[in-house]
Amino acid sequence: MEAVTPQQLLETPNLVEVGVAGDDVRRRMHGAKTTFVRVFEMHVDAPLSSLPHGTQPGEIRVIGTPSTLDAAVTAVRAAAAIASGTPVTGFSVADIQKLGDVAHTTAALRDAGLAAIAQFPIDVVENATSVARDVRESGLAILAITVQHPDDDARVRLCERARELQDAVGGFKAFAPLPRTLSITKPTTGYDDVKTVSLARIVVTNVPSIQVDWQLYGPKMAQVALTVGADDVDNILAVDPGILGTRRSPLEEIKGNIKSAGLEAVERDGLFRERSA
């Protein structure tokens, strides 16, 4: 595909060429290597005292919007107590901002056992650079730049902002360009999602991974995303319900999904470190 502007990439009707362009960048950066992480989610309002039997997470993630800092700290402490060395992550920076001073809040969460903030919604957080620096100075990583709301007209600008934020602050491991809030009245299409993933890989080359969420977008969209620019799959179930047999376990399903796309599956933990087989 000849060099085009990001906007031209979104406007072209040739989806194959768009996908090839994204895949070319992905393969220059990662080859066939494709990472994934098994996540156990614990809601902030329902802390647990133990993990369910058979859980093998690479990440324990505290989800939900905390009503107070005390509630967030309590949940993080509970997660850290059952983690046995597994990284504990959680929350969105946008939700952290609602709890008061960001530096004070994140320092308290770090002291409770949090290793990283899970999401930085680039379309929601104001004064993004200064907020990201406050979080980092508290000693916490921020794993992924994310997009909260769908907005077809803002896709190029959001990718540019993600790149600028990485340039300014650094340390982000992934950019997840597909929106986390799915519109009922105006849902994205698979056609648009493929273009968005490819655009993200082409524009945001300073962030190592382009990520797709397995639970939000499902195996089929995740697999397609891996062929047009994505190289990381987030949020594979860490609990095997055991109802479909070993070959249909969440772990085997994601490995098979990646392998059938002609790629190499590599499991990682919540801090993007490879896990031993």
pLDDT digits 0-9 by tens, 158-183: 999 999 999 999 999 999 999 998 77
Q: How many CB atoms lie within 10 A of CB 60?
A: 28
Q: Which of 208, 203, 237, 234 is nearest to 221 (CA)?
A: 234
Q: What is the mean pLDDT of the chain?
A: 93
pLDDT band, residue 249 (cuts 50/70/90):
confident
Backbone angles phi, psi at 175, to 5 degrees: -120, 125
Gyration radius of the chain's alpha carbons: 18
What is the tens place of the pLDDT at every residue in 111-144? 999 999 999 999 999 999 999 999 999 999 999 9
Q: Which of 24, 59, 27, 19 is nearest to 42 (CA)?
A: 59
pTM exceeding 0.75? yes
C-alpha dihedral sign at 176, 171, 77, 86: positive
Tokens at 241, concatenated: 């319900």
Say how far apart CA 108 and CA 102 lie, in whole Å: 10
Backbone angles phi, psi at 220, to 5 degrees: -70, -45
Residue 204 has pLDDT above 80, yes or no: yes
Tokens at 247, concatenated: 């070959």
The helix/strand/coil state of 199 is helix
What is the tens place of the pLDDT at every residue in 11-66? 888 889 899 999 999 999 999 999 999 999 999 999 999 999 889 999 999 999 99
Least confident of 73-82, 100-109, 247-256: 247-256
Domains and CATH numbers, the chain: 6-267 (3.20.20.70)
